[in-house]
Structure 1
């Protein structure tokens, strides 16, 4: 395009200009020429090698085939000129006046793909590829990744397609040049790719034809931002689209102060947010107990130094009071007053590092002006704002709380949540199941402090080893993506997203836009960042439990086990496949083993067969004599069996074939149907704990099937025995499979 400003125009670019841009970027395109009228087509086509393709371009011709603006297999320049005359007549009859005609050499047949970039409202530029041509809408076999993509991302995108076999040679057809296809994807969506120069809008190549000799983009379409909804308007005075500063689709601007990971803004130290010297509560009543009074009660129980803010009272509920927030000496202020008063209160917070606005009624309730005023007030006061519309902070180590009752033990699990209610559930249920939290922050509308910023800080926090996140609107999707990429392989992150199936996005005129949806973008983000994306609260707690229990076992084991992991060649499948995906499942009941195999296969995990020498070792223990030995391995675990048998069997197998993960299961019901006490079950748990202690390079997991059949307190005791050795406990194979797959995904990215 000879230096043409890609963000200066508001209309769709003519195809030949887009192809000039592609040619400059090293993307192969057909040889061609343009003509202003049918009479000039023959001259333009002179020197091109038939067969030829003719296309009209101009306003109203985004999808040319729908308007009859494409002719294929033209034999010579004269035939192309004749086709142009007929095409012009047909277009004029439809009320379309083309700007001109493009005549090109027709590419040889091959596998057809779509490659496109579209701006996601939250995450910015997203690259898409998949089967192209007529198959794009018919099959919707596509993959997406957030820009910029790496070479590994590009190869995984292609490998994930249902039609990937077509690229590797199928029914006698040659394999396509995958390296050339990967280079094309990187030229569009990689570091330094075209996405960084485009003001998105939408950008689409459909089809790209791939053969054994290379790739060629035979159709190209670029619509700058703001034109997707009105590209059929006639040419004329069109509103200009503002440039985005050359950042590839405009990375979302920060709504308030703080760190996004880009640029020189100083990072905030959030230690005082979670471990404040003192807390001020604004909004407690002297006569009618409200949320402010409730928080006074909560904080009194934790023992953190506390002050109430009230214009008239000297004390509230036994807590000393000061008339304004400006009079409070605190690191953290909780504001629980009506939305219309919040900005006034926050302006008084000078000298207080953090202010949390619990109140709702801002942007989430259709009052963006109130929220903007609140952000301005925080900036004036020089404080960081948590919320609004959030419950606050929980940190047993620092006396912070937004839930009643005695705080749980301090630990190393952090949680960032846009829902205060859900965060409270995760805290209480998680602690009941053995989780110990370091930092929990509810961020509500994230008007200032965002999930992305908190995540970056937590990656430096000595008290945090795993982070869970519940998000609905990331507020700064691009910053979140960059934060997740910055902690990839260093800090395990578990992500639960609400509303993935109902978040709407604008209808897009291109196939690319229509094929990129919110759910697919979240899944792409998780794949690129090595994050575990779960679908429910139970799995969020379950995966956090696994990472807490096995915090010291998240790298490949040393010695022979490490060599075994590197030598595995099973291709990646499902969520976690590839190197280190092998799992050993061991326990009673053949039927339960079959169902376990299904659950782990669905999670992309491999139940690799037992080696012959391991089978010999098992037979020496009396296991499998006269029957086949397989994985899952069936052994007699129950009230009348030897409790040490599971430990001995695991040792016999792992000594010969080092499985990275071992999942042992028991049928709790059988211990109380065929036995009279819980002691045999406890003995099994103690032996499994000893197996974990003997095998520090292996991650052992316990599944207590039918646990509800145990008398009260039994499951708690089993869980305590297992936790003492760092073994997570689950009630179902499905929950265990999700957790094991999460760990393998993390270690794959480490």
Structure 2
């Protein structure tokens, strides 16, 4: 690790257009007075050298000195207190203003990340900062400032003058923009920090600067490949390694999965002596197996030897665990080397495999679902299986699902690039823990024109071990993922159910040309549910804008709102005795006056069976909501069936089937609907 003295860093960054104070250096107090002679008081003196990275904590900074002589005396006092510097820096003290931190650090997965926030002592007290992956744009810089909780300080607080935001944006771009400080350092960057940058009405001045670089640049990220993964998802033949004639295990399980799914290609088991296993013919080794895909389910220590025999097979998936995830990185390195020697692409290890109804691929028992437009890339095979099974139960249909486990070779980024060009895929879901090639993932998402929903595991830990600077200590996995989402337009969710729900809405609604605004109309029966719905959607950042006067007049003509005001959420009679067509009339009247891009229709299922004895009124209401969606091609309709567990068996399924057939996604509660609707709005904005 190499640390540059502050004055050298300031001289260097001034070449990027960053303003710094006028100053001079001296080796000792005796020569400091002469060095400061040309500077205008008040002055600042700082000692610099090894061990003085945090100068304030060490007592190596003095402010407000009224003369060069006072500066020299301050330096002498530092020596008397035991500070042993390489020298002293004396500078003109900047005018007071709002203190801001601007820093950059190299994230192990995603590369350089820029941080901006309230600086000085407030950095640690408030931790009010925003992040973006580098390089940033001017729009990124301005949105970072808008994210700060203390942004009012920048705009002038309690009569104070606003700071020169353009000057601060210029500093952010000089550090993290194209051709800036970060790009010039390339892989040598460890941490860079300006703290504080003092911002006022007439500009921004960096009064402190730190730079830590590495002598040996980190290894380059994984190289971009152009593999055609079509045969991974639609193999002409599959070989399973690890099936047994005596003790059935995972290999036998996968053979039965392919048989149950009705795989029509060549299916073989690998066994040195057996003629067949469970009715599937055997071959003695992968060599000459004549397949496109091999599934390996043997102990970790044997996997590399098996993979070496796979030359000529395009894709090999290692289901077995016991590699890097279990503290055995050498086994994983040997496995990757074996794949490279054999010239095969390796999926895993520690993954379940691939699912594609159209291509016959599966890692699940039972019949496959119908082919659809939803793709999923997951580092967890178990979670991917749950998404498929629960999703198909709710009516979702999948194009391609790949589990990648440890991603030793094939990475999520590489599969994303393939799916971006896949005509059968319209919507993509991700479950990630360690993307391996985070920079490649970011670049793939930046150019992707399909909606993406991501569930990220491990975001809530302690964060990274505190580094030498404030910047390094304040960047954590959670914040980097949030920055990536802001820059790429993907939606981050926090649960498996929300992942499925968002994929559902995007599958049905992503292609609708709905207006790009945060407005939503909520409509349903009266009671506290409407009030709670308003709270939920407001928390999600969605806008329940009031109904315009022409809309309220039209609603009164329909007999609504007698003796009361009409608002959003709109209360209408919905129940076993209600008119199921009323929702169509009410929504049509409102949209004629105001184009809400999203309409959330909710219903209390319990009331239909407490005050009625048949599912017919609920199904009639569902048909009416579906008909409304069919009429409104540019509006996204969402149905919330509250208290669905109160319905007799089979009714909820019937409601979902009816609604989805008309292009309407269905949710059990407002919270799930709000997550999905937000994903739809982000998608409409990001892919426009």
**TM interval, short-chain normalised:** over 0.9
Q: Does 1:484 align with 2:452?
A: no
Aligned partners of 2:106 and 2:382: how far apart in 1? 32
Length-normalised TM-score, structure 2:
0.98
What's the CA shift for 1:704?
0.2
Alignment of 1:138-177 (within 5 A): 138-177=125-164
Aligned to 1:677: 614
Aligned to 1:213: 202
> In structure 2, which of residues 193, 201, 206 is the aligned counterpart of residue 204 of structure 1?
193
Residues 328-369 of structure 1, C-alpha deviation per residue, up to 9 Å, x if partnerless? 010000011111111111111111100000111111111111
Residues 356-406 of structure 1, C-alpha deviation per residue, up to 9 Å, x if partnerless? 001111111111111111111111111100000110000000110000010
What's the CA shift for 1:37?
1.0
Aligned to 2:41: 50
Aligned partners of 2:640 and 2:460: how far apart in 1? 31
What's the CA shift for 1:433?
0.7
Aligned to 1:534: 493
Alignment of 1:244-323 (within 5 A): 244=217, 250=218, 252-254=220-222, 260=224, 265=225, 267-304=226-263, 305=265, 306-323=267-284
Aligned partners of 1:83 and 1:389: how far apart in 2? 62
What's the CA shift for 1:504?
4.4
What's the CA shift for 1:197?
2.5
Length-normalised TM-score, structure 1:
0.90
> In structure 1, which of residues 622, 640, 645 is the aligned counterpart of residue 559 of structure 2?
622
Aligned partners of 2:49 and 2:660: how far apart in 1? 68
Alignment of 1:675-714 (within 5 A): 675-714=612-651
Q: Is the Cα–Cα contact under 8 Å of residues 702 and 729 in structure 1 kept in the other structure?
A: yes
Residues 276-312 of structure 1, C-alpha deviation per residue, up to 9 Å, x if partnerless? 0010111100111111001111111223220111111
What's the CA shift for 1:251?
7.2
> In structure 2, which of residues 408, 418, 440 is the aligned counterpart of residue 457 of structure 1?
418
Aligned partners of 1:663 and 1:525: how far apart in 2? 29
Number of aligned residue pairs: 683
Q: Does 1:404 align with 2:379?
A: no
Aligned to 1:231: none
Q: Does 1:509 align with 2:500?
A: no
Q: Does 1:524 align with 2:477?
A: no
> In structure 2, which of residues 539, 552, 557 is the aligned counterpart of residue 602 of structure 1?
539
Aligned to 1:729: 666
Aligned to 2:389: 428
> In structure 1, which of residues 76, 85, 90 is the aligned counterpart of residue 76 of structure 2?
85
Aligned partners of 2:478 and 2:505: how far apart in 1? 25
Q: SS of the residue aligned with 1:284?
A: coil
Residues 65-111 of structure 1, C-alpha deviation per residue, up to 9 Å, x if partnerless? 11111111111111111111112222xx2xx4201111111100011
Computed over aligned residues only, the root mean square deviation of the Cα atoms, in angstroms, reads 1.1
Question: Judging changes above 3 Å, is the alpha-carbon distance between structure 1 residues 445 and 718 closer, same or farther for their aligned structure 2 residues?
Answer: same
What's the CA shift for 1:475?
0.9
Alignment of 1:549-564 (within 5 A): 549-553=508-512, 555-557=513-515
Aligned partners of 1:739 and 1:307: how far apart in 2? 42
Q: Does 1:664 align with 2:655?
A: no
Alignment of 1:215-230 (within 5 A): 215-225=204-214
Q: SS of the residue aligned with 1:655?
A: helix
Aligned to 1:41: 32
Question: Judging changes above 3 Å, is the alpha-carbon distance between structure 1 residues 64 and 493 closer, same or farther for their aligned structure 2 residues?
Answer: same
Aligned to 1:63: 54
Aligned partners of 1:253 and 1:219: how far apart in 2? 32
What's the CA shift for 1:536?
0.5
Q: Which runs of 5+ in 2 are unaligned?
A: none
Aligned partners of 1:701 and 1:635: how far apart in 2? 16
Aligned partners of 1:674 and 1:300: how far apart in 2? 49
Q: Is the Cα–Cα contact under 8 Å of residues 638 and 664 in structure 2 kept in the other structure?
A: yes
What's the CA shift for 1:543?
0.2
Aligned to 1:562: none
Residues 443-474 of structure 1, C-alpha deviation per residue, up to 9 Å, x if partnerless? 00000000010011000001100111111111
What's the CA shift for 1:749?
2.0
Q: Which runs of 4+ in 1 moved over 4 A?
A: none
Aligned partners of 1:504 and 1:151: how far apart in 2? 28
Aligned to 1:228: none
Aligned partners of 1:276 and 1:89: how far apart in 2? 77
Q: SS of the residue aligned with 1:168?
A: coil
What's the CA shift for 1:503?
6.2
Alignment of 1:358-373 (within 5 A): 358-373=319-334
What's the CA shift for 1:40?
1.2
**Deviates further, 195-204 or 38-47:** 195-204
Q: Is the Cα–Cα contact under 8 Å of residues 463 and 475 in structure 2 kept in the other structure?
A: no
**Deviates further, 39-48 or 699-708:** 39-48
Aligned partners of 2:180 and 2:667: how far apart in 1? 45
Q: Does 1:356 align with 2:317?
A: yes
Q: Is the Cα–Cα contact under 8 Å of residues 30 and 217 in structure 1 kept in the other structure?
A: yes
Aligned partners of 1:56 and 1:112: how far apart in 2? 21
**Deviates further, 408-417 or 583-592:** 583-592
Q: Is the Cα–Cα contact under 8 Å of residues 356 and 392 in structure 1 kept in the other structure?
A: yes
Residues 87-138 of structure 1, C-alpha deviation per residue, up to 9 Å, x if partnerless? 2222xx2xx4201111111100011111111112221211111111111111
Q: Does 1:748 align with 2:680?
A: no
Q: Does 1:637 align with 2:574?
A: yes
Aligned partners of 2:388 and 2:575: how far apart in 1? 34
Q: Which runs of 5+ in 1 are unaligned?
A: 1-9, 226-240, 245-249, 558-564, 566-579
Alignment of 1:385-400 (within 5 A): 385-400=346-361
